[in-house]
Amino acid sequence: MWPERMEEAFHVVCHECSEEGVYESRSDAVATREAHADGTSHRVSLLAIGPAVPNP
């Protein structure tokens, strides 16, 4: 059975390599984005994905 509602998630993606991930914690997503950008000088985006209701 699906949960009634999925919580917010955060999508991190590098525009210059294959680094990508989805995180439940905003602080984890920000830390990953900053660490990758600082370590590689790549352009990295973070997108907050709002709560969603599954389509049964």
pLDDT digits (tens, 9 = 90+) for 5-53: 557 899 999 999 999 999 989 999 999 999 999 999 999 999 999 876 6
Which pTM value belongs to this model? Answer: 0.77
Model confidence at 2: pLDDT above 50: no
SS3 5: coil
Cβ(24)–Cβ(7) below 8 Å: yes
Which are the contacts of 10, defined by CB distance < 8 A and separation ≥ 6? 22, 23, 24, 25, 26, 28, 29, 46, 47, 48, 49
**pLDDT value at position 35?**
98
**pLDDT value at position 18?**
97
Model confidence at 56: pLDDT above 90: no
